[in-house]
Chain A
Amino acid sequence: MRTKSIFRVFLLLAILIGGFSNQTLASGGNDAPFNPGETALHHIADAHTFHFFGDIYIPLPAMIFYDRNGEGITFLPSSASFDIGKSGNGNIAIDRYVLQHGVVRRIKDTSFPMGKVNISWEGHASHGNDHSGHDHSGHDHAGHDHGQKEKGMKDKIMDELDKGHEVQAFYNGKGFDLEDRTTLDGGLAGGGMTSYMDFSITKNVFTMLFVAFLLGFVFLRVAKAYRTRDGQAPKGLQGFIEPLFVFIQDEVAKPMIGEKHYARFMPYLMSAFFFILGLNLLGQIPFFPGSGNASGTISITIALALFTFLITNLNGNRDYWTHILWMPGIPAAVKLIITPVEVMGVFLKPIVLFIRLFANITAGHIVIVAFVGLIFVLGESGKNLVGAGVGAVAATFLTMFMMALELLVAVLQAYIFTILSASYIGAAVEEHHHAEEAH
Chain B
Amino acid sequence: MTGSLAAIGAGIAVIGAGIGIGNIGAKAMESIARQPEAVGDIRANMLIMAALIEGAAIIAIILSFFIS
| Inter-chain contacts of A152 with B (CB < 8 A) | 66
Instruction: Specify which chain A residues have a CB less than 8 angstroms from the CB of B51 in the assembled complex.
Output: 356, 416, 420
- Which chain B positions have C-beta within 8 A of A356? 51, 54-55, 58
**Is A412 among interface residues, defined by CB-CB distance under 8 A?**
yes
* Contact indicator B59/A419 (Cβ below 8 Å): no
CB of B21 closer than 8 Å to a CB of A: no
A415 contacts partner chain B, Cβ-Cβ < 8 Å: yes
A398 interface residue per 8 A CB criterion: no
**Chain B proximity of A416: nearest CB distance (Å):** 5
Q: Which residues of chain A from 387 to 439 have a CB within 8 Å of any chain B CB?
A: 412, 415-416, 419-420, 423
- Chain A residues in 8 Å Cβ range of B2: 149
Q: How many residues from B make CB contacts under 8 Å with A?
A: 14
A423 and B44 CA atoms in complex are apart in Å by 12
B47 contacts A419, C-beta separation under 8 Å: yes
Please measure, in the bound complex, the distance between the C-alpha atom of A255 and the C-alpha atom of B58, giving whole angstroms. Answer: 27
Residue pair B58, A153 in contact (C-beta under 8 Å):
no
Instruction: Answer whether residue A16 sits at the interface, using C-beta atoms and an 8 A cutoff.
Output: no
Which residues on the B side are within 8 Å of A270 (C-beta)? none
Q: Nearest Cβ distance between residue A280 and chain B, in whole angstroms?
A: 15
The reply to whether A153 and B66 contact each other, CB–CB distance below 8 Å, is yes
Interface residues of A in 142-165 (CB under 8 A from B): 149, 152-153
Determine how close the nearest CB of chain B comes to the CB of A366; give it in whole angstroms. Answer: 13
Contacts of B65 in A (CB 8 A): 153
Report the number of A-B residue pairs with Cβ-Cβ less than 8 Å: 32
B47 near A415: Cβ-Cβ < 8 Å: yes
User: Is A310 an interface residue when CB atoms closer than 8 A count as contact?
Assistant: no
Can you name the residue of chain B whose Cβ is closest to the Cβ of A355?
B58
List CB contacts (< 8 Å) of A222-270 with chain B.
251, 255
Size category of the A interface is: 10 to 19
Q: Is the CB of B44 within 8 A of A412?
A: no
Is B55 touching A352 in the complex (CB atoms < 8 A)?
yes
CB distance from B47 to the nearest CB of A (A): 6
Instruction: Kindly state the separation between the CA atoms of A359 and B58 in the bound complex, as whole angstroms.
Output: 7
Write the nearest CB–CB distance from B33 to chain A, whole angstroms: 22
Verify B48–A352 contact, CB threshold 8 A. Answer: no
Kindly report which residue of chain A lies nearest to residue B66, judged by CB atoms. A153
Which residue from chain A places its CB closest to the CB of B51 in the assembled complex?
A416
- The answer on a CB contact under 8 Å between B66 and A355 is no
Q: Which residues of B contact A420 (CB under 8 A)?
A: 48, 51
Check B58 against A412 for contact (C-beta < 8 Å).
no
User: Which chain B residues border A149 with CB–CB below 8 Å?
Assistant: 2
Q: Check if B59 sits within 8 Å of A251, measured CB to CB.
A: no
Q: For A416, what are the chain B residues with a Cβ–Cβ distance below 8 Å? A: 47-48, 51
Residues of A close to B55: CB separation below 8 A: 352, 355-356
Q: How far, in angstroms, from A415 to B47 measured CA to CA in the complex?
A: 9
With both beta carbons as reference points, the residue of chain A lying nearest to B62 in the complex is identified as A355
Q: B residues within 8 Å of A by Cβ? A: 2, 40, 44, 47-48, 51, 54-55, 58-59, 61-62, 65-66
A-side residues, CB < 8 A to B, are 149, 152-153, 251, 255, 352, 355-356, 359, 412, 415-416, 419-420, 423
Given A352-B58, A355-B55, A356-B58, 9 additional A-B pairs, CB 8 A: A149-B2, A152-B66, A153-B65, A251-B40, A355-B59, A356-B51, A359-B62, A412-B47, A416-B47
